[in-house]
Amino acid sequence: MSSNPTTTQDTERGLLATAGMVILVALVVVTVVFFVASAATDNLLVTPPGGDAPEEVVLGTALFAAAVGGVVGAVLAWATNRFGRRPRRVFVAVCVVGLVLYGIVPFTAAEQAATAVWLNVMHVAVAIPVVGGLAKYLPDTK
């Protein structure tokens, strides 16, 4: 017996509440990882696309990226629930593929390998609560 919500409206209410919580958790987690990374390495330097000089990654940028990731995850969860026949499976699969593909970006932008590794740690640290928390409220099948 599953404790998943039974109606689309129940699921959407649960997703909205969960989205807020997982975004807050993601912000806390990325803050902790950012400070650990800052203490472990000299500077987190990246060269933005089209940029000429490296720029330091600041906490505000990490927090913004984490919040955007949470919002994108929530919208994707809503869409897979609304339009998909297997919402949880599709949501998790799209998130995993997206995380793997997006994990390449830090290696192309980072000035040092350590920076790329720490940026990917931040990606995973945000993805765990966002994907795990949102997937909990999606039904297996419709």
- Collect all residues with Cβ–Cβ distance below 8 Å to 28 and sequence separation of at least 6: none
Contact between 47 and 54 under an 8 Å Cβ cutoff? The reply is yes
Confidence of residue 80 (pLDDT cuts 50, 70, 90): very high
pLDDT of 3 > 60? The answer is: no
Q: Which of 12, 139, 122 is CA-nearest to residue 84?
A: 139
The pLDDT score that the predictor gives to residue 88 is 95
Confidence of residue 4 (pLDDT cuts 50, 70, 90): low
pTM of the model: 0.86
pLDDT of 2 > 60? The answer is: no
- Collect all residues with Cβ–Cβ distance below 8 Å to 122 and sequence separation of at least 6: 30, 33, 34, 37, 62, 65, 66
